[in-house]
Amino acid sequence: KIGDTAITEDKLANYAVTNSKIGTLAVTTAKIANLAVTDAKISSLSADKITAGTITALIQINSPVIQGGDIYGSKFYGGKYYGSNEDSAYMQVGARTGNYGDLSLYKGGTISPIFQIYESIPSVDLKALGSAFLSTDGSNTYAYGAWNFSSATSINWGNNYPVARFA
């Protein structure tokens, strides 16, 4: 066991710890190069500058900001996913409490979604600017509001063309 060691303004190079324990190690304005920890446990690591090719660990990273290139993973938990910065457009998954399957798209700097896929049980609604314009329960689909087809060059009704009704 190595206990309570302080290194200040020096370089700690090629230091290997194998099957041992370091109690408290404080490194201030120094450089640690090629530190290898094998079959040992680091219970807490606090550092403001880590430069590495690969960090492999079975740990939890708690940080308000993680900055970098590509992030690969099988699951991501969280609600908001921003564009290039915090003022850009963003999407929010699961905007309400519980396990609702909502997806909302926001314009940067706004608090109201501009588009939503909204689970309203027992149906799913498509919403624009807070108003549903299409809803389905999987068997039936309903359109809401006025639908303007004046810019359409053609409408193919197939065998389901509308029938004129006269009162």
β partners of residue 41: none
More confident residue, 152 or 23: 152
Instruction: Please provide residue 20's backbone torsions phi and psi, each rounded to the nearest 5 degrees.
Output: -130, 180
Q: What is the pLDDT of residues 66-122, one digit of tens each?
A: 777 777 776 777 778 888 777 789 888 886 666 778 899 999 888 899 999 999 889
β partners of residue 82: 90
User: Rounded CA gap, 81 and 54, in Å?
Assistant: 25
Please give the angle made by the CA atoms of 121, 79 and 99, to the nearest 5 degrees.
30
Q: What is the pLDDT of residues 137-147, one digit of tens each?
A: 999 999 999 99
Neighbouring residues of 37: CB distance < 8 A, sequence distance ≥ 6: 17
The confidence band for 126, taking pLDDT boundaries of 50, 70 and 90, is very high
What mean pLDDT is predicted for residues 148-163? 88
